[in-house]
């Protein structure tokens, strides 16, 4: 994920350096969520959506089946 700002974030005794436009360093999930919330890093792309099941058209009431 790319960093959107240039910052040094200190978290649990470690410094994480964000440089705008460059790939953000690996960071703990809690810090990653906080940085995304603050707009410091891009949000990760979400998982691919599940394929939707095909729709079966409903038969209108009273219609007799052919055959």
Partner 1 sequence: MAQLPQNKKGYIRGVKGAVVTRINSDGTADGTAVPYGIKTTQKIAVEAELQAGEATPLRGGDKLLAYVKDPDTVVGVNLTLNDARFDAQAIQTLAGGTLVEAVEGTDTRIIGWEAPAIEAQQAPPHFKLEVYATSYDARGGVEGYIKYTFYFCRATFGNENLEDRQWLVPELKITCLENPSTSAGLYKKEFVTALPAVLN
Number of chain residues interacting with partner 1 (CB under 8 A) = 13
Question: Interior CA angle at 20 toward 15 and 22, to 5°?
Answer: 85
- Scanning 31-39, 49-57, 58-66 for contacts with partner 1 by CB under 8 A, the matching segment is 31-39
Told to check if 38 binds partner 1 by CB under 8 A, we report yes
Of 23, 22, 41, the residue nearest 31 (C-alpha)? 41
Structure tokens at 14: 């470690």
Query: Least distance from C-beta 39 to partner 1, angstroms?
Result: 11
Q: Does 11 bind partner 1 (CB under 8 A)?
A: yes
């Amino acid at each position: 994920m790319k960093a959107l700002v240039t910052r040094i974030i200190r978290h649990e005794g470690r410094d994480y350096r964000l440089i705008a436009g460059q790939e953000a360093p690996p960071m703990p999930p809690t810090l990653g969520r906080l940085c995304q919330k603050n707009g410091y890093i891009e949000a990760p792309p979400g998982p691919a959506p599940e394929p939707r099941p095909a729709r079966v058209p409903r038969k209108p009431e009273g219609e007799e089946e052919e055959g």
